[in-house]
Amino acid sequence: VFEPRNIIVTGGCGFIGSNFVHYVVENHPEVHVTVLDKLTYAGNRENIAGLPANRVELVVGDICDAELLDRIVPGHDAIVQYAAESHNDNSIADPEPFLKTNVEGTFRLLEAVRKFGVRYHHVSTDEVYGDLALDDPARFTEETPYRPSSPHSSTKAASDMLVRAWTRTYGLRTTISTCSNNYGPYQHVEKFIPRQITNVIDGVRPKLYGTGENVRDWIHTEDHSSAVWTILTKGRIGETYLIGADGEKDNIAVLRMILEMMGKDPEDFDWVRDRLGHDRRYAIDPTKLRDELGWRPQHNDFAEGLRKTIEWYRKNELWWRPAKAATEARYKEQGR
């Protein structure tokens, strides 16, 4: 078992990274966290505000900045890499920042890992495997070939390839996790679930892409955090682990749940233009993570998790309000 004491969490002011920082602070009192985050439109220092200053330090900076990495990496025993451009629709409108952060940023981190010999965990996504047909009984496993569809997922796949090559060639101590769709607090209002919740709060009809039959495999972000911690500390070096919690749902079902939970007619939404190249279905077989490392998700009731997430957005309007208008303006340009 690897026992880290001083870790860098890149992208720790984003949705999933900040939830991981909260998780570590609450569950591992012996660990100090340095958050490295560029604070793009998706990063918000409020996400980690209020955490004890002796446990969490924020360094505002870019993972592409090699000199900065040379300064801050020494003295740490691990890097957990969450920093990324993460939104598919943005990658279709303008792919360039995805190449820069997701590919070059990972390259810079790997070079720092090589130089300073620290443990590295790379947070990736199930989208690298492409999609499955709606009627295919199969799920993704660690053996599924990489077949990304979008500019975003192709850059995530490229970054995974760099990690594997650096691991084999230079003997780095790395692991990769490919997780399915997360939901929970602090998710940016551009993403499906928060966008629809905040639309309903604003009296705007939710927007469903295409036929709404696309399936996503939902996992609560806290379960993603516990899985990443398990892999960081107990995972076998050089391995990839899929993370998922048996949460397959089609988009229309999720949208109707949100509407009903918020006291609206479940048909009270707009059908909008489909996403280009829209992946049909993601589905994770998490057997390896469960059997080999003994990990189990705690949030097994999606309806309950969704209800709490709706509550969180109702209570935290001050947090999401500043991003809402600009996000909807971007969608309007795309006809959505």
Q: Note the residues at the interface with ligand DAU (CB under 6 A).
A: 86-88, 125-127, 180-181, 191-192, 195, 207-209, 214, 216, 251, 275, 282
Query: What is the H or E stretch that residue 282 is in?
Result: none
CA-nearest of 122, 184, 183, 128 to 151 is 128
Could you say whether residue 63 binds ligand NAD (CB under 6 A)?
yes
- Residue of 103, 179, 245, 284 interacting with ligand NAD (CB under 6 A): 179
Looking at residue 71, its amino acid is R
Could you say whether residue 72 binds ligand NAD (CB under 6 A)?
no
Q: Which two tokens stand for residue 60?
A: 């505002």
Provide Rg for the chain, Cα atoms: 19
Choose among ligand NAD, ligand DAU, none what residue 216 binds, the Cβ cut-off being 5 to 8 Å by kind: ligand DAU
- Strand 174-179 relative to strand 119-125, pairing: parallel
Choose among ligand DAU, ligand NAD, none what residue 289 binds, the Cβ cut-off being 5 to 8 Å by kind: none
Could you say whether residue 123 binds ligand NAD (CB under 6 A)?
yes
Segment interacting with ligand NAD (CB under 6 A) among 21-29, 180-188, 202-210, 309-317: 180-188
CA-nearest of 328, 113, 68, 315 to 206 is 328
Could you say whether residue 181 binds ligand NAD (CB under 6 A)?
yes
Could you say whether residue 225 binds ligand NAD (CB under 6 A)?
no
Residue numbers 189-218 binding ligand NAD by CB under 6 A: none
Could you say whether residue 306 binds ligand NAD (CB under 6 A)?
no
- Which positions ≥6 away from 283 have C-beta within 8 Å? 132, 138, 139, 140, 180, 215, 217, 244, 248
Rounded Cα distance between 316 and 194, Å, is 12
Return the beta strands (E) in 38-118 as ranges.
56-60, 78-81
Could you say whether residue 139 binds ligand NAD (CB under 6 A)?
no
The least distance separating ligand DAU from the CB of residue 255, rounded to whole angstroms, comes to: 7
Q: Distance of alpha carbon 193 from its chain centroid, rounded?
A: 14
Residue numbers 27-46 binding ligand NAD by CB under 6 A: 36-40, 42-43
Quote the DSSP letter at residue 10.
E
Could you say whether residue 101 binds ligand NAD (CB under 6 A)?
yes
Segment interacting with ligand NAD (CB under 6 A) among 12-20, 134-142, 164-172, 259-267: 12-20
Choose among ligand DAU, ligand NAD, none what residue 88 binds, the Cβ cut-off being 5 to 8 Å by kind: ligand DAU
Could you say whether residue 62 binds ligand NAD (CB under 6 A)?
yes
Could you say whether residue 9 binds ligand NAD (CB under 6 A)?
no
Rounded Cα distance between 161 and 164, Å, is 5
Please count the residues of the chain. 336
Rounded Cα distance between 62 and 36, Å, is 7
Quote the DSSP letter at residue 76.
-
Q: Which residues bind to ligand NAD, rule: CB under 6 A? A: 10-11, 13-17, 36-40, 42-43, 62-64, 82-84, 86, 101, 105, 123, 125, 156, 179, 181-182, 188
